[in-house]
Homo-oligomer: A and B are copies of this chain.
Amino acid sequence: MTIKSVLLVNSDRLNHSIDRLAEIGERPNGGVRRIAYSTEDLQARQLIKIWMTQAGMTVRIDTAGNMIATYPGQIQKAAALATGSHIDTVPLGGRYDGTLGVLAGIEVVRVLQENNIKLIHPLEVIVFTDEESSMIGSKAMSGNTIKDTEYYHRDDRTSIKTCLERIGGNWNQLSTARRSQSEIAAYIELHVEQGGVLENVDKQIGVVQGIVGQHRYAISVTGSPNHAGTTPMHMRRDALVAAAQVVLAVNNLGNKNSGSQVATVGSFNVWPNAANIVPGKVEMSLDIRDIYQSHIDELVGQLKQELSVIADSSKTQIAIERTLRVEPTLAKPQIKDAIASACQQLQLSYYHLPSRAGHDAQEIGRFTDMGMIFVPSVAGISHSELEYTSPEQCSQGANVLLQTLLQLDKMYPV
């Protein structure tokens, strides 16, 4: 079998679109600043709409401002297959994060159109609103938005009502953006990895196992502040010595061979924080992520036991309180299989890995079947002007997206 026997995207056309879109919000250092609802975002949406229309799609904007382009299927009333991502960036972002998924989706439709191919299912390419901050676009589709407008205020205090109006949405009708599996049978998103795993294992494509859940905790250690000169070692209740043990316990938890979890103490503050005083108090954060909720629960349970042992031995009090809980979203096994099979067909190497960053797919996966395809990020860098994925890697990802959609089209009943 040769690769030539399968349908392929036009790599030059895809990469030209990536270059062209990167001009909107382009910064002197090569990065892109295209914040949701900004002039640049509006300008990019207009260009995307033109490309979508040229590819034979009809475009609508839902009340959450999501751009939903539909390429008709053979059975127009069937639930759609959907793909997409976002085109907004962080303030100092790169050219690939989000953008690749949207432009690859459009490129897939271009290829279908020029080959006069219609899938059985309608095919949607979706640009989700404000992925980089509120994720209001995909959250509105899954019905997980918050009623309080205050939550969505921009840093410049622009209201969410104004923001959504700018892009054609409508805050007051936000609930009508909600969708279900009867409308979208399956959703698949291509994205750059934003981490260094694929590069590290030297694989071309990532088959995403799911998007990790995230628990965050506040841990406080209370000892007794004492004079660092006059208090003998055995009479101390040193909060920092206990907290150091907590940091290592958290790190051991992360390094256990039982799963793909990460566990981090990122914020860590000491009181009174003076060279000549034995620390009396430490407050720290714990961030723990894994694709299995039960595994997170199990690890936190183990940690709590260890905290109790550390508190006893160090004569300190240790308190732990949860401050954030985001449930994991698992990819659908049959979609993972389809992605792997597409890679084999295209003779691309692949690797199963969790997504440790959040994505729109995480919200869409709450109401329908979901899968994600990763392509490598050079040096694992993202959210930076140094973000880079080569033209060849981008088109490899788009080809896997195309082949996977072709398989899913046969797989999902209408």
Partner of A241, one of B200, B248, B274, B382: B248
Partner of A248, one of B194, B226, B245, B265: B245
Assess the B262–A266 pair: CB atoms within 8 A.
Answer: no
CA distance A284 to B183 in the complex (A): 57
CA distance A146 to B243 in the complex (A): 40
Assess the A238–B216 pair: CB atoms within 8 A.
Answer: no
A1 on interface, CB distance cutoff 8 Å: no
A231 on interface, CB distance cutoff 8 Å: yes
Q: Which residues of B contact A227 (CB under 8 A)?
A: 194-195, 356-357, 382-383
Assess the B276–A268 pair: CB atoms within 8 A.
Answer: no
Taken residue by residue from 254 to 286, chain A's Cβ proximity to chain B (1 for < 8 Å, 0 otherwise) reads as: 110000101111111110011111110000010
**Which residue on chain B has the smallest CB distance to residue A195?**
B230
**Which residue on chain B has the smallest CB distance to residue A270?**
B268
A212 on interface, CB distance cutoff 8 Å: yes
Q: Which residues of B contact A196 (CB under 8 A)?
A: 231-232, 235
Of the candidates A195, A214, A266, A268, the one having the most CB atoms from chain B within 10 angstroms of its own CB is A266
Give chain B nearest CB distance to A222 CB in angstroms.
16
Q: Which residues of B contact A232 (CB under 8 A)?
A: 195-197, 260, 262, 356
Restricting to A198-241, which residues have a CB under 8 Å from any CB of B? 200, 212, 214, 216, 226-235, 238, 240-241
Q: Which residues of B contact A357 (CB under 8 A)?
A: 227, 229-230
CA distance A264 to B234 in the complex (A): 12
Assess the B231–A380 pair: CB atoms within 8 A.
Answer: yes
CA distance A267 to B272 in the complex (A): 8
A251 on interface, CB distance cutoff 8 Å: yes
Assess the A265–B287 pair: CB atoms within 8 A.
Answer: no
Give chain B nearest CB distance to A44 CB in angstroms.
25
Interface size on A, residues (CB 8 A): 56
Assess the A267–B262 pair: CB atoms within 8 A.
Answer: no
**Which residue on chain B has the smallest CB distance to residue A358?**
B229
Taken residue by residue from 99 to 116, chain A's Cβ proximity to chain B (1 for < 8 Å, 0 otherwise) reads as: 000000000000000000
Known contacts A200-B235, A214-B229, A380-B231; A278/B251 CB under 8 A? no
CA distance A275 to B260 in the complex (A): 19
A78 on interface, CB distance cutoff 8 Å: no
CA distance A357 to B285 in the complex (A): 35
Known contacts A279-B266, A356-B230; A248/B244 CB under 8 A? yes
A289 on interface, CB distance cutoff 8 Å: yes
Subset of 28 A-B contacts with CB under 8 Å = A194-B230, A195-B227, A197-B232, A197-B235, A200-B235, A214-B229, A216-B275, A226-B380, A227-B357, A227-B383, A229-B356, A231-B356, A233-B262, A233-B263, A234-B255, A240-B265, A244-B245, A244-B247, A264-B275, A265-B279, A266-B273, A266-B275, A266-B277, A267-B270, A267-B274, A267-B275, A269-B270, A269-B273
Complex A-B, nearest 3 residue pairs according to Cβ-Cβ distance, in ascending order: A195-B230, A275-B285, A244-B244
